[in-house]
Structure 1
């Protein structure tokens, strides 16, 4: 039997352990068949019966390998999907936090290593993102209080407007306090963030 994992110049070094494992399995199968033949010789089993028994055993092995391939195909698909979703999430979070785009500097595309790097980056961003959300909620509450004092009856104006400053800029009672709140809304030049 020829190993499908050929050792040579075209084989990556990290696959050598797979080649070793394959050879171990191949040797174990050969040893098992030899032992079975010894046992069957003792009872003078016919060749056809032996072939049937070996066929059943190989059928189980083939089914196990087929199930493993299917499972690993699902794993690869899931990794690709998680990478895509993770990259989109990082891009959105860093953009809304006013940060530079994230760069993958070493992990191979589509790799488990890349997925782990993405998960690590999201873990780093999450507390910053949550802190910004909390700050935003506090400013929205201040805006709601200010809108009440200015007599603006629209409920939650800050939550329903793309630019909450528009609500106040033309109001007749627009004053320095309103300017101060608008300044806080700027978030140092960064706009409101969305809820994750």
Structure 2
């Protein structure tokens, strides 16, 4: 039986490749202004916490993950490049990664997908063409158009399936990804997990 700690090490290795050096704002603390709670972000910005629903967890200054309790548990991100990570079960995780690059820097959706797959290929030691892309389809996140790619890899002998929704904006590349450790296919259950995840994302 594979221990949960091993699952976490697999997740750490795989997801560290997805983020770039142009990392955006992550939460660094909280405080209050005139009696109202605020969330502090690493880029020096802040936002009122009490403007959001009580069941929402701020992830970025303009994004929250809502309706999480008691199904989802926030867990420490395995890398500073990951803005937030939540777990639904021992082998089911979701993550947010935000990078300060976008269409203003010449990034296109196809190049964003290629960079993600190149990174996964590099950490797993396989060629990009040998990574099965299980799905590549339009998506929507809180009314914004996006794309979801699903792919599978094997790392240290453990199969993992990812569903990565990519939202490309003028100055941001936002990844909202779910992954299931031990899976070999993008199953109906994983599709439902990912759809539920995206439905719980609220953006300002």
TM beyond 0.5: no
Of Structure 1 and Structure 2, which has the larger fraction of its residues in helix? 1
Higher strand share: 2
Q: TM-score, structure 1 length as denominator?
A: 0.22
Look at both structures and tell me which one has the larger radius of gyration over its CA atoms.
1
Please, what TM-score do these two structures have when normalized by structure 2? 0.22
Instruction: Report which structure shows greater RCO (CA 8 Å, sep ≥6).
Output: 2
